[in-house]
A and B are shown apart, each in its own frame.
Chain A
Amino acid sequence: MIDYAGLMTKAAMLRKKLGEDSDSPIDVFALAQRIEGLSLVYYPLGENLSGMCIKGQGENNVVAINSTMTQGRQRFTLAHEFYHLYFDENMVAVCEKNLYSGKDVEKSADLFASYFLMPEAALLIMAKTLIKNSQKQQLTLEDLIHIEQYFGVSHQAIVYRLRFTPYLEQSKADLFFNVFVRSRAEFLGYSSDLYKALPIEKQYMTYGHYIKQAEQLFSKGLISTGKYEQLLLDAFRTDLVYGEEEDGDVID
């Protein structure tokens, strides 16, 4: 049994807890960096997996995101993992890429992610306004692109969510579900970042708590240089161990 209303409440509660208002788009990756004790790992998890969540002791948590998915989908997955982090009693979750399938806890996490990134009231107001402006009965593909760009989520996540509303009938939703929207979005003046994966050099990366922990242990002399480097290399931070081949910092 999926408790839709309960999930909506949970999404609203977590927004509040993390210092977000109740209806604006969220920069979910920036938000993740502010969560105490959370390590965020980007990793190419393959064709079938979208993410993982591993809860440790003392708020020592790890969330991994499949870095080969589009950035819109990665944002959705991160919000999905928040459900496991805050509301799932299992300590480890390995999550499948297919939306709204599998166990109830996975479906719940998908719905939660949808409500968390696109609060119901804000989404419906936007849908109504777009329909009013276009003077059509239903949302068009362009409308959907405007909405996904506004909330920063993947195309499929938007179609899935709106198919349950009067603004997008089932047959249209089925049609729009598998449409490639990248070039359409570009012709509407949007950046196509949402529809692209991360550049290859960023597909293996760890941010957040883990790096701080290693740094702290090393600076207190609790681990050797070798161990420190090993810990960073396990977390794919060759850049911190060997330095980066870049032009250096820019101050502006």
Chain B
Amino acid sequence: MRKFKQGLAFSLFKFFAVLVVGILFSIVFFILFNGIKVINWEFLTKSPSNGMLSGGIFPAIIGTIYLIIGSIIFAVPFGVSAAIYNIEYGKNNWFVKIMRIMTNNLAGVPSIIFGLVGMALFVNKLNFGPSLISGALTLAILILPLIIRTTEEALKSVPEDYRTSSYSLGASKLTTIRKVVLPAAIPNILTGIVLSIGRVSGETAPILFTVAAYFLPHLPQSIYDQAMALPYHLYVLVTSGTDLEASRSMAYGTALVLVAIVFAMNLLAGFFRNKMNKLNKRNS
């Protein structure tokens, strides 16, 4: 009887594992199968036409790329610096402890709140209006905790010996960080950046009111312009528009591009992580 209960429970859990894999595969299959029909060079390089029923999604791709670049530019310097301060200087003083709590909480804030605050602060108060800069800043705040957390892990995993050897040769703390610690931590820092790129590409709520537009006649010319973006484009294609059935195929194509970007970033991050582990193994 006892053995039977165990067998039952364990079979159930095995089933769960199969179920979860099945869910992922059905989602991927759903998008891949339907989206691949739509993807071609035209789709990726042309603007939408005919009321979103045909054409391509090029401006959305460009918009997303701009947003990625913008948010990374803002988040990485601050995030990496913050992590450097936390790990190398602050160690465990009260300031760092409080900031760590703040960072963890910021990580848990729903993305729509970022959208709200981004709108209130960047779009309205600072008068940037809905624009690339508003969107990029909002997204930068969104990914900041992620960058800080992964950079902290990267710095922590650099062996202490590296630092002590450098100091014993007469190098200052700053020089040590710049020339020894950071280079050693780069692969893991890159992991964090790459994961953030994946995150930024897919977020809709923060850009709803800060930058996204459904259709723009031309590509954004300056950072004060609005832009189209992939996740928002997908959202609109699926929920509004005049002929939902017909724009469905565009939706599949957009979803495929979006998911492809996210998966590629995940793979890249995993690649960097493995490289880091190999590096550390060799040296220990």
Are A and B co-members of a single complex?
Answer: no
Which residues does A use to contact B, with CB under 8 Å? none
